[in-house]
């Protein structure tokens, strides 16, 4: 069981009702962690349209995470 801080942005923050939370998980990758958070908070955007960062570095969904990491979940972007 690893404990991390999950941070949510834009529609994810509104759907979760919070900007960040402490999460305990047995997930092996940030993709699996996202799936758990998505079920809990009702995130509807498909993973392939979202992005994830660990400690301010964008990473692939298959990336493992470590105890104490800050994991940022980004919904589909819309700059410009």
Partner 1 sequence: MHCRIDHEPLESDALRSAMIDRRAGGFVAFEGWVRDHNEGREVVALHYEVHERLAIKEGERVLTEALARFEILDAVCHHRSGDLALTEMAVWVGVTSRHRAAAFEACRYIIDEIKARLPIWKKEFYRDGDSGWVNCVGCAQGHAHHAHASRDGQSRG
Number of residues binding to partner 1, judged by CB under 8 A: 22
Residue closer to partner 1 (CB basis): 33 or 73: 73
H-helix segments, 7-79: 10-16, 30-41
Long-range contacts of 50-58 (CB under 8 A, 24+ apart): 50/74, 50/75, 50/76, 51/77, 54/30
75 binds partner 1 per the rule CB under 8 A: yes
10 binds partner 1 per the rule CB under 8 A: yes
CA distance 22 to 3: 7
45 binds partner 1 per the rule CB under 8 A: yes
Task: Kindly list the residues in this chain that would bind partner 1 in the complex (CB under 8 A).
Answer: 9-11, 14-15, 42, 44-46, 49, 51, 53, 56, 58, 72, 74-80
């Amino acid at each position: 069981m690893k404990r991390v801080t999950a941070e949510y942005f834009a529609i994810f923050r509104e759907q979760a009702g919070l900007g960040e939370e402490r999460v305990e998980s047995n997930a092996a990758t940030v993709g699996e962690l996202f799936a758990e958070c998505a079920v809990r908070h009702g995130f509807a955007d498909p993973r392939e349209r979202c992005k994830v960062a660990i400690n301010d570095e964008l990473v692939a969904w298959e990336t493992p995470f470590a105890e104490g990491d800050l994991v940022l979940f980004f919904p589909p972007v819309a700059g410009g």
